[in-house]
Amino acid sequence: MPSVFATGTRMIAIAALIAATALGGGAVATAADTGTAVAGTAVTDVSPPAGAVVGIAHPVTVRFADPVTDRTAAERAVSVTASTPVDGSFAWTSDRELTWTPDVFWPGHTAVTVLAGGTRTQFRTGDEFVAVANRSTHQFTVSLNGQVVRTMPASMGKPGYETPVGTFPVLEKFRNLVMDSSTYGVPIDSPEGYRIDTEYAVRLTWGGIFVHAAPWSVDSQGWANVSHGCINLSTENAAWYYDNVAVGDPVIVRG
């Protein structure tokens, strides 16, 4: 299918798939009682930041100046309002950090307003750019707004280092990155140790799972899982994915 992907941007065009999406009225996803402080402590940051365009799996994160003792009050004081109604849920990643995540995904081209205490931010989602990594078929398939645009051979985690199953929003991107097994407790001089220069690295977990270029495993890509948990692609395919993926875009890993 004809497609054009502008290198280094999320300016993605596919015939008849891209259309202007008008922002509708707001729909309150969670109730709010806003003020200058939330549950006795100030809000220091709300993300995504104002004006950001993010992927459809991006959570809302509220950070507090001090540990929150009344979590229920804090949750009640945060509102998430979307131009298309979205259900979601709260979770605490620490006693100072609260997230609100949509139950499935935000719809593409949705405007979202977040109020937490006296802090307000408004962001929007971009295209529905979704990747599915299948550990059994060794394929990495990318869809744009519901239509498959590229299927790539991949190699994932070998036995004992299986790529975790689940849905992971992209956290950050690195054009070049040194990967070092000692950062998660495996010495580089051990049989499973390594320290390698990688390209087009897209982080999925803070524990070290990435989608990245792995020219050394090209012969296994599409056939066998040989990595230490990362999703290996050819350099060409990894560059394409890196150039087009945005922070917050989901990667769904299936067994």
Which residues are catalytic, by number?
212, 230
Q: Whose CA is closest to 211, among 180, 188, 245, 186? A: 245
User: What is the Cα–Cα distance from 18 to 234, expressed in whole angstroms?
Assistant: 28
Q: DSSP assignment, residue 248?
A: T
CA atoms within 13 A on the CB side of 113: 12
Per the structure block, which two tokens stand in for 230? 């990362």
Q: DSSP assignment, residue 37?
A: S
User: What is the Cα–Cα distance from 191 to 73, expressed in whole angstroms?
Assistant: 51
80 sits in the region (left: phi over 0; alpha: psi -120 to 50; else beta) called beta
Q: Which residue has 């990362």 as its token pair?
A: 230
Alpha-carbon torsion (163, 210, 177, 185), positive or negative: negative
